[in-house]
């Protein structure tokens, strides 16, 4: 077994169409098709089918709906995991759900814990209650959605992940927070951090500046996609996680804690 597998990660910094799931799926499908290299994981922004809070007058989607089916098909086509969040209805409640489709047909999920009350998300969706970590191609991946980035306890590495993966609709007015917090999460958790944001303007006039980024386990910036629509392939080395933690064993001095039931 390879002790330090690489993860070829495609960041899809896309311009999303407001309230148009079919058009967004088609656009993202074309983004994948234009990638000239093999990838292990492709990452789309938050609410990639509708835009943030762009679903109120659209039909509800469930886990057997067109978006999840599309993710499965694309995952199998490219023999790659596909990740991003979409609005999913389950048990009469709507969730901002991080979806993670793998080539074996499985679709794992994480429901966004920290709903953005300032923007009205708490009025529309239900919060998730469970922090999760998935293993994929020997990588341990912790998924997070947008506003979760502001809450370091929820993101805290307890020796259980190698990659902290954020998808977002993060607006231009607070983009410096996005950049600073992504770097902070990498430094404090000694893990790779990948954050994929959208570009363009939504139906409410909110502008999104992109700046999808990748930080290594030392907190060094290895990619910034700028402000234009772009897909870029980065190769992440899991060995850097182990080497960093062995050289700088800061986690040995971390405070132990348990999360109270939510």
Low-confidence ranges of the chain (pLDDT < 70): 1-4, 261-262
The upper half-sphere exposure of residue 46, i.e. CA atoms within 13 Å in the direction of its Cβ, equals: 30
Does the predicted TM-score (pTM) go above 0.85? yes
Identify the pLDDT of residue 256: 87
Domains and CATH numbers, the chain: 6-250 (3.60.110.10)
The CA distance from 108 to 81, in Å, is 10
The pLDDT value recorded for residue 2 is 47
For 86-122, write each residue's pLDDT tens digit. 999 999 999 999 999 999 999 999 999 999 999 999 9
Q: Pairing state of beta strands 139-145 and 134-136?
A: antiparallel
Catalytic residues: 46, 112, 146
Sequential DSSP letters for 117-183? GGGTGGGT-PPP-----EEETTEEEEEEEGGGGG-HHHH--SS--SEEEEE----GGGHHHHHHHHH
């Amino acid at each position: 077994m390879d002790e330090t597998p690489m993860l070829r990660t495609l960041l899809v910094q896309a311009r999303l169409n407001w309230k148009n799931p079919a058009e967004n799926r088609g656009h993202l499908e074309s983004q994948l098709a234009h990638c000239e290299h093999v990838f292990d994981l492709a990452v789309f922004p938050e609410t990639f089918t509708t835009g943030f809070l762009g679903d109120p007058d659209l039909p509800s989607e469930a886990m057997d709906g067109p978006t999840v089916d599309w993710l499965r098909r694309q995952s199998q086509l490219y023999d790659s995991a596909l990740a991003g969040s979409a609005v999913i209805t389950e048990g009469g409640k709507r969730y901002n759900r991080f979806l993670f489709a793998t080539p074996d047909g499985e679709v794992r999920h994480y429901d966004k814990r920290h709903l953005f009350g300032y923007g009205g998300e708490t009025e529309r969706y239900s919060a998730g209650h469970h922090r999760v970590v998935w293993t994929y191609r020997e990588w341990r991946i912790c998924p997070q959605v947008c506003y979760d980035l502001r809450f370091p306890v929820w993101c805290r590495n307890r020796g259980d992940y190698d990659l902290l993966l954020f998808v977002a609709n993060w607006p231009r007015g607070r983009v410096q927070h996005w950049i600073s917090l992504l770097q902070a999460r990498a430094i404090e958790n000694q893990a790779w951090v990948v954050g994929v944001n959208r570009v363009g303007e939504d139906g409410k006039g909110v502008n999104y500046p992109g700046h999808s980024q990748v930080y290594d386990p030392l907190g060094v910036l290895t990619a910034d996609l700028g402000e234009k629509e772009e897909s870029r392939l980065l190769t992440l080395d899991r060995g850097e996680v182990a080497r960093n933690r062995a050289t700088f064993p800061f986690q040995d001095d971390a405070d132990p804690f348990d999360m109270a039931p939510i």
